[in-house]
Structure 1
Amino acid sequence: MSAAIPPTERRVSARIGAISESATLAVDAKAKALKAAGRPVIGFGAGEPDFPTPGYIVDAAVEACRDPKYHRYTPAGGLPELKAAIVAKTLRDSGYEIEPSQILVTNGGKQAIYEAFAAILDPGDEVIVPAPYWTTYPESIRLAGGVPVEVVADETTGYRVSVEQLEAARTERTKVVLFVSPSNPTGAVYSPADTEAIGRWAVEHGLWVMTDEIYEHLVYGDAAFTSLPTVVPELRDKCIVVNGVAKTYAMTGWRVGWIVGPKDVVKAATNLHSHATSNVANVSQAAAIAAVSGDLTAVAEMRAAFDRRRRTIVRLLNEIDGVVCPEPEGAFYAYPSVKALLGKEIRGKRPRTSVELAALILDEAEVAVVPGEAFGTPGYLRLSYALGDEDLAEGVGRIQKLLGEAKD
């Protein structure tokens, strides 16, 4: 057994050194770098609407820039007027009645997720994480001292886990179950009945639920968004909701998210937030007020475009031999299985993993996709269809041509 490394010899802490780079951002950065170098790369990596932020929101930010009151520190937990707007928005969209003291405004959804877990987890507490999962969830759990416990669903169930699977993963160390609907990376949406069943199971066992509702407005066809604390009111004292303006209003760069939860937990998270960053940029908060207070006309227009692209990308992907792509019901991602293609020869190479296949697609077809390993399920690819119709058709067409050459 090797001797322990003296503190003076450790350049990076073990806690931070164990964190993986965000795979989705890494793919997006590589695609942009190649494009800047002159290669005609099409990126399906980042989960980011291609639309500009609606004009009325930008106008509110411009006005805020001119107002001296926004040039100073404001309350760490969020502008009171934004909290009031989130109260009204949550009741309008979810039927969930809350108070301003139950809200913490954060620098985007990622900070909300980390601070929520940090507020309720002690070292060794387990969090049940349905997979495929968004890359940030397990990293945030580990940073907060918790232990992510994966429960895997595949294309045969539409990437939805069952209560039976969750129960099989529950131990005496389980404290939290993560619930995400609509889902990133799969676009899965749980029915109201399944949502309620999971919530009642959590109540029965005294578990906390952390639910991410960032894609609440991006559902299609017969699917319906269901807010867990609304359908299971008994859960509200042990439920934390994460949300934000990024996806709904095409505001990924504005960095405004929030936590809704029990007052004592939100107060604890706010204390952490006050030392981590203090208040979110006031101009961004002013823009968020305009976003959540306005009507949903612009949102409906973006959703219609995403719906059209959703149907197109699923049809094109399923035309490829060896690819199986369920139709996503929400968000803006397709998550096809490519397991049948692994090990086949494609242009002189035999990719054995979805990481290798994604690298081949980037090198040979100049299309950037994210491998399933990033989401806890090897053998899949994630493609965001939040990009223009022409790029979508061209990009999937290149993938079709390349993968169509696969042979035993």
Structure 2
Amino acid sequence: METEGKVIKCKAAVAWEPGKPISIEEVEVAPPKAHEVRIKIAASGVCHTDWTFLHESGGSMVPPPFPLVLGHEGAGVVESVGPGVTKLSKGDKVIPLLVAQCGQCQRCLNPKTNLCTKNWVQTQQCLLADGTSRITCRNQQVYQFIGISTFSEYTVVPEDNVTKIHPDAPLDKVCLLGCGVSTGFGAAVNTGKVEAGSTCAVFGLGAVGLAAIMGCKSADAKRIIAIDINPDKSEIAKTFGATDFVNPKDHSKPIQEVLKDLTNGGVDFALECVGNVAIVRAALEACSPAGGVCVMVGWTPKGELSLVSEDILLGKTLKGSYFGGWKSAEAVPKLVEDYMSGRILLDEFVTHTLTLDKVNEAFDLMINGKSIRTVLKM
């Protein structure tokens, strides 16, 4: 049945209120407006940030609005395009982007940042460019997480928040490049600029941390120390390139002191992939005083970060990384092709594949440390 220009009824995972299980509902997805694209989602990864916004009210200055369709790590096929869309066509395989790339704003023209300003304010409010959503349920507007909402069989996304990918790409794998893998990998190679022969420490071995390890390995780091309180993460960390595994629970000393002992004074690069300000400080203190670099990668929604001023004064550097520093629309298709040619791993991140109606189970697997990435198939 031809759907172009019509409202589509489909299934979506709707969060009605914070801290409560998500329910599967029939929703209505309106046609795309000007400079928008309607996508039939094939698969979506379940990211810890989705859980954080559901259970911790985002931890931001403004709590996320409800009802809300979460999900921001998806891949699918363009069902239709709105007026004025020139970059995409019906039938294109695509990945929605949590960071736009309009190519025209001051930040897009600046090689030092990937934080495009196009639609930023609106999408952070879980709305599209015109301040509304294209999803409704039970006759009320449903907000779209970061303007995307991939926990839905169909969604509508601004044109500048979508990128076309290789037509042969497996959507249930490359969806991970919509957030976690790109974020961790880019934090190492783009933001941290990990150097060949260096010693690295990666704190937190979820998908982002494992991708950071993969980035350190691709940069030819000599030693990569993986750190997690879950001993089951030791072997999987080695799959991505870790040379050592340290469980902080096995030591009486603070983890930064353990790392200093292991490395004769500190690591060259530390990547914090947990999202905890106390661990950010530990990661910075674990760095070599002679030019060590700490990269803050994990989504850290709240908590003040205290530092020892001498650490910075004597030459350590603390950086932040959002979406791995990638210029999204141009970088993600290249990452897809890197995966297809074997230069980066994706399959190894996927520990569980479930259907959309099992989204709450996917969250449980993640929070209990039993999964790296669960992919939901629509």
- Which of 1 and 2 has greater Rg? 1
Give the TM-score, by structure 1 length: 0.31
Give the TM-score, by structure 2 length: 0.33
Relative to total residues, which structure has the larger helix share, 1 or 2?
A: 1
